[in-house]
Structure 1
Amino acid sequence: MSSEQRYNIEDLKRLMQRLRDPVMGCPWDLKQSFESIAPYTLEECAELIDALEQKDYPHVKEELGDVLFQVIFYSQLGAEQDLFDFDEVVSDITAKLIRRHPHVFLDGDLEGVVPDRSSMEEIKKNWEATKAAERVSREQMSVMDDVPEALPGLVRAQKLQKRAGQLGYDWTEKAEVVKAIEAEWLELFDVIDSDAPVEIEMELGDVLFTIVNLARHCRIDAEAALRKASRRFEARVRFAESQAAREGSDLRDESPETLDRRWRDAKQATDTL
């Protein structure tokens, strides 16, 4: 077959069936389950996010394929156990998105056109109302019920805070959040030198949680902000390592003063990341 052959979604589904063929399939793929694949899904999603943030679009295409393959894999496992198949996954997400966009799809029809454009506030209100109705249909009566525990800590904190805000548990001004951070900071200082790791962990967690709240009030994604800060830190360390190596030196052997100088140089060189 030509290397220029273009495959489609049906080909990918067939590939997955062959990988899971009990007789002629791949031994590794045959050993997998919903649970064993889950860590790979997290990894693939993280790699996609990294490529997006780097604006490496050829890599984005590759990573999107990897994420799609995860969906195909889960769907094949579901089909084998008579739970669901890929077509049902597609049908359900299409129906859900039509349901959640009444301002686009008139009368729940894929081709239905709504003549009057809705405001962003109306769209947001309808979206939240539809999600609330879906939670009720799943017998999830709390606004907290469908926030996955497996989410990264900063992401989950931000979602929980947003949900609580729907009930009135929120600050109205950024200055109030800053005051709360200062109060939590003082509580952490009270225990930081104690021999009480459980209390230190709790107070540190409160500080982090409240900082996430400030990010939310500033309309900043806390997880993305921390990833970018980590990327800047990584770039600065690499810069300092390279600078030292060019001078025939090793950071481990240098004085605090030299390390500080290299760090200032690194910050100046990477302040746009």
Structure 2
Amino acid sequence: MTFMGMQWVERHQYTNHPAQIVATIGFGVAVAAIMTGREFRLSLPATCATATGVLIMSVSGLMMGAGHNMPWPAHWWFYALHSILPLLAIRRRGGTATATFGCVVVVVAAARAAGATVDAPTLLNILNVFPTIFAGALVPLLIRRATSQFPIATEDALKHDEAELREGTHTGYLRRNCEWVKAMIEFALPDDLPMPERTRNARLLEMRLRDSIRSPFLDVPDLTREVWNARKRGVKVTLLDDLTPARAFHR
């Protein structure tokens, strides 16, 4: 767009040349078409519009016939190819970009073979556009190769997070149980308790721990206190939960 703007700003006989106007229109069509759509692959209508705009721009630029006698920047349409065709290849239309470029080369070669004076660089300089098209065609392949590892990396990250969460839950569960058992031992087996009392409380504590495992739904403070006192008086108490699958989540 910079070259095109400078071409229009230059005050010379080619500013209002019909070919210059047509080439500018072709350039605008190509740029507008190649920037449309949100998909990475350019749509077929936009691809056709881009290729058509490039051909109109190139042929019209050649028809100005100024050659190197034209005030700078000469043959701006050629420099525009360095931007439009690689972008076309980047949008996964590398074949169309190459075919369009081939048509431009054929037109320039045919015009020069016919002895016409054209506004174009040498064929060798024109061929320098092809490496940029090839590089643009590699961009989608590199992006696809790079992004193909995203699902694997995401899955590995999820597995890592799950493992950390599982480990944290397990560690927290063990810590809370250890703290609870420690509190029970400190309550039932203090250091200053006589040995007969310690022996009796050790048996009561064992039954208390069994109740918490076998009958978790009945592990409530009021009932636990009454069961402890009853056993302490010599009463045999057995707690049973209904832990069948149908009622596993109901008290």
For the aligned pair, the TM-score class normalised by the smaller chain equals: under 0.3
Tell me the TM-score normalised to structure 2 length. 0.21
Answer 1 or 2: higher relative contact order, Cα 8 Å, separation at least 6: 2
Pick the structure with greater CA Rg. 2
Tell me the TM-score normalised to structure 1 length. 0.20
